[in-house]
Amino acid sequence: MVNQLLIHLIIILFPIFIQQFFMVRIAKSNIIYQLINGCLFGLSAVLCMAFPVNVIDGYQSDLRCVPLIIAFLYGSGKYFPGLLALSIGVLYRLYVNGDAMYLAVFSFLLSVGPAFFFAKSFFSYRKIKRVVVSVILAANSSIVSFVLLIIYLKSRPLNLHTESHSLWIIAILTIATLIGMGISSMLKEHLIETAYLKLELERSEKLKIVSQIAASVAHEVRNPLTVVKGFLQLLQESVDDKKKDYLKIALAELERAEYIITDYLNLAKPHADQLELVEVPTFLGSTLEIMNSYGLIQNVQIHLNCNQTDLYVRTDKPRLSQVILNLIKNGVEAIPETGEVTVNAYYRNEEIFIEIIDTGKGMSKEDLSQIGTAFFTTKDTGTGLGILVTIRIIEALHGKISFESELGKGTKVTLRFPAAES
């Protein structure tokens, strides 16, 4: 039995290693990734059923539920991989036929079904909670197996020794199920974290290159621009009205060039100059007052929702103000005609959350995956540096930023900072 359980553990881990070595570059939202994912975990369940553990004559069990639950939970918030894996497992069981076939299919649904309800919200949990939920669902499948065994034993005249032996085997299978699920879940979490760190490293290298260019070029370009701007302002006093209009256009373009260079300089040096204790509700209230007039011009209402008063962060106030203003401005500009931008602030898990939600046109998944890439922008006249500078400032303030968006439904930006004591 020990050899069979070891084979089951290898079978369970097989699709996870396949994903790690051969599917790293495929986007998890890609239908091909989901199809392969579902097939791999379905095949894993089938192989577990092909090498069952004999509990008692006429009754066999295995660890098939572990890969099926993993397929649901770690399917990137999609039902398809889990449903595909479950379908493969059920179809194989129907193909094999045998005693109590319909009871076996029913046990499938009881064991794996609860995972379906966690598929959408699973990745909103913290890492430790995801592992705990996985193990609890595995325990549920073990309970189902135990109940079915009891029903089977009660339906047949068996001696006490045989019954106790069967229960002992089920207990070992339960331990193996929990261990298999724990290892699988922690391994998946490790792979997710590794992939995230790899992406962060790649992004950091790109930012480093852009920052080096910014540091070496920006100052040199800014000096001649300042001289040219000064002479154009002097010329305005000695030319006719028509030429003055031309000079206004030239000065406006020079100011735009200065703005872009300032973005480059902020990108090169996003460090926090002076940290101070900031009361979040008051800070957001004053920041939103600055943007209210801009919102009214664009026919956009700006709201603040913050019922808590004891929200504090230790941060560089001007830098954080720059971030909030930039994100609200982006939200306002993303709304084509009329709409609203809502700012929420709250405390959770020793962190202060600030959410900026707009009712604008939103972004596609492809555009969303490009957020933070140098020179990427959805605006017609944007440089792509605004969000990049924002991300760099958030990192310098020891915070985190995430984006959620859907075409036609708007965008939500979430900022997280360590909570500070008043």
Residue at 398: amino acid letter = H
- Stronger pLDDT, 174 or 1, i.e. the higher one: 174
Q: How is the chain split into domains, by residue range?
A: 2-198, 202-268, 276-418
- State how far the Cα of 222 lies from the Cα of 245, in Å rounded to an integer: 24
- Stronger pLDDT, 257 or 72, i.e. the higher one: 72
In order of 44, 296, 366, 383, the CA distances from 379 in angstroms are: 46, 20, 15, 8
What is residue 381's DSSP assignment? S
Q: Which pLDDT score is estimated for 293? A: 82
- State how far the Cα of 107 lies from the Cα of 169, in Å rounded to an integer: 18
Q: Which pLDDT score is estimated for 58? A: 65
* 353 close to 415: Cβ distance less than 8 angstroms: yes
Determine the CATH number of domain 2-198.
Answer: 1.10.1760
Mean pLDDT for 382-391 is 71
The yes-or-no verdict on residue 263 having pLDDT over 70 is: no
The single residue listed with the structure tokens 């790649």 is 202
Q: Which residues of 232-258 are buried (b: 16+ CB within 10 A; e: fewer)?
A: eeeeeeeeeeeeeeeeeeeeeebeeee
For residue 191, the Cα-to-chain-centroid distance in whole angstroms is: 14
Q: Compute the CA torsion angle 377, 345, 296, 294 (nearest 10 deg).
A: -50
- State how far the Cα of 182 lies from the Cα of 67, in Å rounded to an integer: 12
Mean pLDDT for 116-127 is 86
Best CA proximity match to 74, nearest among 126, 34, 129:
34
Q: How, if at all, do strands 410-418 and 400-406 pair?
A: antiparallel
Could you read off the pLDDT of 27-79 as tens digits, one per residue? 555 678 788 888 999 999 999 888 887 777 667 778 889 999 999 998 877 88
Could you read off the pLDDT of 351-373 as tens digits, one per residue? 999 999 998 888 887 777 777 66
Q: Which pLDDT score is estimated for 342? A: 92
Give pTM, 2 decimals: 0.63
Q: Which pLDDT score is estimated for 412? A: 92
Could you read off the pLDDT of 185-195 as tens digits, one per residue? 999 988 888 87
276-418 has which fold?
Heat Shock Protein 90 (3.30.565)
- Stronger pLDDT, 140 or 219, i.e. the higher one: 140
